[in-house]
Structure 1
Amino acid sequence: MTDSRAAIDAAYANASHIPGGMDYPARWAEAAAAFRESHPPEEIAYGTGARQRFDLFRPAGEAQGAVVFVHGGFWKAFDKGSWSHLAAGVLARGWAVAMPSYTLAPEARIAAMTREIEAAVGAAARAVPGPLRLAGHSAGGHLVARMACADLSPPWRDRVARIVPISPLSDLRPLMGTTMNDDLRLDREEAEAESPVLCDQVDLPMTVWVGAAERPAFIEQARGLAAKRGCDLVQAPGRHHFDVIEELAEPDSPLTGALLG
């Protein structure tokens, strides 16, 4: 590995810079499984692919609308069942929550994942009437930010009340120099087309959220998106890349409040 590639890899590495970072996936899996046991979701297909499915959690009573949460994992890891416990906060406030899987790299390119999430939100919109609110973490933050780009024209867009990209990857060009690009296969054309900071924008309410204790590269990515959108940027005190999403499990947290408005 060249020194430059190692430096870019290090800029986007998270687990090695977070105390106990390697323990988080097992903790997420345990919490998600326990939540699904107590709140069994519906599984709904939004396409024919093996991973083109989402879990839909419905609140008690009529839903106020639907929140779609898109998971992260550098477009290479995790699925809809990895984060079920994060539905708890908005579910308690009367919103349905859809959590989609999508086809991962290297099987799919990022451009294809964007279209899958567009289709997943559409299916969630058909399943739950009312407004839509979109949130996503890391690579998922990228994918929900893409839903506000003018090259997409989904019929559900006028129902979107807010988008909250959390620790989003908004400029994909630096990732072309990383080891992970062996799987992502980003070239210049795709990196530019799929970067929300480079896209023509649609006027949708957005709040960009990032942990104040995250790696500098992620803070800069969040700042860049907020500057492009001219929207609020929240740097959550003391939060790093792995715990910045935990507030979604709490109905009265600042992050849940930002999402539901």
Structure 2
Amino acid sequence: MDGWQNMDRGALDDAYANADYIPDAASFPPRWASDAAAFRAAVPGKLDVPYAEGSGAAFDLFHPAVPPQGLMVFVHGGYWRRFGKSDWSHFAAGGLAAGLAVAVVGYPLAPTVRIAEITRHVRSAVEAAATRVGGSIHLTGHSAGGHLVARLLMADAKPNCTDRIATCVPISPVADLRPLVRQTMNEDLRLDAASADSESPVLAQPVLRARAAVYVGAEERPSFLWQAQALGEAWSIPVHQVAERHHFNVIDDLRSPDTSLMAAVLGSAG
């Protein structure tokens, strides 16, 4: 949504209020948690692997039935303030079916930490997971998680395993944090102009050679369509609008290996 500079707080809050515009939005979080628990019960994994000190600084690592051909990392959203890794386990399904090990990353949440610290935690998580699984690394994340995986391609946040990162697919990312500074949620995020600039992928060029693409639901709020397009234009990478998908179900295509989204994550998209 270009023109955010002229919007007041109420309008900015509304522009990023996804749940208010999704039918039956309240049913999604409990369904995610239930599906994730069922997945963990059915699929063995190494759970709660710590990668740093502090609450939330752990990942769950799932292995495919065959020796893994690489590592997929999924970073969840929730505006850096909500959810945990255990709400998202089932989104490892597509990567596992494609022969990748999958790390579902947790991180400490705002307001306990600021976004810059969350970025550093996610970098540490990727580095720690990379020591456990060889081969190429495929990064993806949703919403705030899309922001976080995009940040790892920037010079000040790149992990020590950069030579192995093959793909990066932010899904519905918040790639420009400047519109958040005047929003009510910033009471938790505590962004100022300088930190919003430094944490915005749209304001810097990626330094890694990873193959990148942006995915966003075609039925998302105009602000998220704009965010996706802004990142695509800033980085000169493809932006894919997924038909009949909104902010809460655009990630469903991670659950199958045979989707355009997973093809991008795997690096096999045309």
For the superposition of Structure 1 and Structure 2, which TM-score range results when normalised by the shorter chain? over 0.9
Residue in 2 that maps onto 1:234 = 240
What does residue 198 of structure 2 align with? 193
Shift of 1:154: 2.3
- 1:27 corresponds, among 31, 34, 47, to 31
Identity across matched positions, percent: 52
Structure 1 counterpart of 2:240, one-letter code: V
Deviates more, 1:247-256 or 1:99-108: 247-256
Say whether residues 1:37 and 2:41 are aligned partners.
yes
CA distance in structure 2 between the aligned counterparts of 1:153 and 1:116, rounded to whole angstroms: 12
Measure, in 1, the Cα distance between the counterparts of 2:150 and 2:206: 10
Whole-Å Cα distance in 1 between the matches of residues 44 and 84 of structure 2? 16
Aligned positions, number: 259
Q: Structure 2 CA distance, aligned partners of 1:39 and 1:24?
A: 22
Q: What is the alpha-carbon distance in structure 1 between the residues aligned to residue 218 and residue 98 of structure 2?
A: 27
Unmatched runs of 5 consecutive residues or more in structure 2: 1-6
In structure 2, C-alpha distance between the alignment counterparts of 1:152 and 1:31, rounded to whole Å = 32
Match of 2:3 in 1: none
Name the aligned partner's letter for residue 14 of structure 1: N
Structure 1: segments with no counterpart, 5+ residues: none
How far has the Cα of 1:200 moved from its partner?
3.4
Aligned to 2:215: 209
Query: Pick from 171, 175, 178: which aligns with 1:170?
Result: 175
Give a deviation string over 1:7-29, Cα, whole Å, max 9, x none: 10000001110111111001111
- Cα distance per residue 1:79-137 (max 9 Å; x no partner): 11111111111101110000111010000000000000000000110010000000000
Q: Secondary structure at the match of 1:23?
A: helix
The 5-angstrom pairing of residues 135-146 of structure 1 reads 135-146=140-151
| Aligned-partner Cα distance in 2 for 1:211–1:193 | 26
RMSD: 1.0
Task: State the distance in 1 between where 2:133 and 2:219 align.
Answer: 36
Is the contact made by 2:71 and 2:135 (CA closer than 8 Å) also made in structure 1?
A: yes
Contact kept in structure 2, 1:208 and 1:226, CA below 8 Å: yes
Provide the C-alpha distance between the structure 1 equivalents of 2:98 and 2:72, rounded to a whole number of angstroms: 11
Secondary structure of 2:264's aligned partner: helix
Structure 1 counterpart of 2:120, which letter? R
Contact 1:69–1:100 (CA under 8 A) maintained in structure 2 = yes
Q: Secondary structure at the match of 2:168?
A: strand
1:53·1:102 contact (CA, 8 Å) conserved in 2?
Answer: yes
Q: Which amino acid aligns with 1:9?
A: D
Q: Which stretch of structure 1 is more off in the superposition, 148-157 or 182-191?
A: 148-157
Question: Which residue is equivalent to 2:75?
Answer: 70
Report the AA paired with residue 61 of structure 1: V
Match of 2:131 in 1: 126
TM-score of the superposed pair, with normalisation by structure 2: 0.94
What is residue 250 of structure 1 aligned with on the other side?
A: 256
Measure, in 1, the Cα distance between the counterparts of 2:120 and 2:226.
26
Looking at structure 1, the residues matched to 223 and 180 of structure 2 have their Cα atoms a distance apart, in angstroms, of 11
User: Helix, strand or coil: the match of 2:81?
Assistant: coil
Match of 1:5 in 2: 9
Query: 1:236 offset after TM fit, Å?
Result: 0.4
